[in-house]
Chain A
Amino acid sequence: MKQTSIALLTLLYSLIASADSPLEVTDPWIREAPPGAGVLAAYMAITNRGVDSVTITAITSPDFERIELHRTLVEDGVARMVPVGSVQIAAAERLTLEPGGMHLMLYHPKRPLRTGDSAVFDIQQSDEARIRIHVPVVKAGVDDDAGHHHHHHH
């Protein structure tokens, strides 16, 4: 019961953007990493529900030393991670962070994060507005393909 209400609360936090931000974050998750991993990855979709474009300048979390936005590029069979400084989302556009594409690099977790835990992220906009989201840790299951993950939203 307690777990259900926490999950519900997490869901509500993730779905409802704060009043002063037009950004809506859906389906956020941190990929559970092996014990002792120094770097984790997080994924989510960020939709701009406003009429003006929004620039995300930083994403911070009290649970990690540092967060960077990266894009994975595979060129000529070689995978590269390219840091992306700030990112602009045009009105009514959606930015999708997903495995094998754009993702958040989460450096040095300050506590062990296992499936069922969640971390707090603050998404900072260039206009000083920010939203706070709660991101659950999920173990990516036995995937059929790269780029998909199976987890449940109940």
Chain B
Amino acid sequence: MTTQRNPSKLRLALLFTVTTVLALAAGYWTAGYLLSKPAELADLQATHFRTARDLQPFELVDHTGNAFTNDALKGHWSFVFFGYTHCPDVCPTTLSVLNSVATRLQEHNGEISYIFISVDPERDTPDKLSQFVPYFNADFVGVTGTTGAIEQLTRQLGVIAARVEDEADAGNYLVDHTASILLIDPDGRFHALFSPPLKAADIASDFIRIAQAY
């Protein structure tokens, strides 16, 4: 670069370099901003979002038949798990883990809701959920709704639910679904995510630290 036979080309290269550096710096700063945590949340098992995400309005129904909207997620923390009642392994196991979390967080009773939202609204009526969800803990809430309303909620939360036909039984199907537990804050925003393997002790201790930092 000691000879400058083509100054305009050089200027272009310089401009390009500066732009690239700026873009990288901006990206780095943004990523750092989004992913950095306050010191007290540095070593959580949970994925904790620096900026909690607002939820778009949704309208579902709980297992007693009452409307379940954004307001049902406000004024308290909520652990939310997506599953379905025709799921005999992962869903009962996760609900048992949540029951264990509830036992560990007993002194926070009243500040926390535990919510099971169906990804199989076709089979999971409020009546069906009223038999299934309270079996694990009488305070747990089952939620279902129209297929469209459930999809609208799962999409904005990044929750996956995919129907898979059962090859052995034409009338039956399975649903692949997100195995993580979501944490919604008292402002009704998606605040943190607990991913498998799910351990009640870790979830409970992470929750206490997240709630204290809130």
Q: Which residues of A contact B (CB under 8 A)?
A: 31, 33-41, 66, 68, 70, 72, 74, 77-81, 83, 99-100, 103, 105-107, 140-147
Contact = CB atoms under 8 A, between A and B. Distances in A.
A9 B156 CA distance: 53
Nearest to B97: A146
B97 A145 contact: yes
B93 A99 contact: yes
A36 B128 CA distance: 8
A19 B95 CA distance: 40
B86 A146 contact: no
A144 B137 CA distance: 15
Contacts of A147: 93, 197
A33 B199 contact: no
A100 B93 contact: yes
B12 interface: no
Main secondary structure of the interface of A (DSSP, over half): strand
Nearest to B167: A83
Contacts of B164: 80
A100 B169 CA distance: 23
B180 A34 contact: no
A78 B88 contact: no
B179 A79 contact: yes
B96 A140 contact: yes
B83 to A, nearest CB: 9
B85 A37 contact: yes
Interface stretch (B35-43, B70-78, B170-178): B170-178
Given A79-B179, A80-B176, A144 B89 contact: no
24 contacts: A33-B88, A34-B135, A34-B136, A36-B128, A36-B132, A72-B90, A74-B90, A77-B179, A78-B178, A79-B176, A79-B178, A79-B196, A80-B176, A99-B93, A100-B196, A107-B172, A141-B96, A144-B100, A145-B197, A145-B199, A146-B94, A146-B96, A146-B198, A147-B197
Contacts of A146: 93-94, 96-97, 196-199
Interface in B32-89: 85-89
Nearest to B160: A78
Interface in B174-200: 174, 176-180, 195-200
5 closest pairs, A vs B, by CB?
Answer: A34-B135, A41-B88, A79-B179, A80-B176, A39-B88
Contact of B89 (A78, A99, A142, A143): A99
A41 B176 contact: no
Contact of B201 (A74, A81, A144): A144
A16 B53 CA distance: 56
A79 B197 CA distance: 11
A79 to B, nearest CB: 4
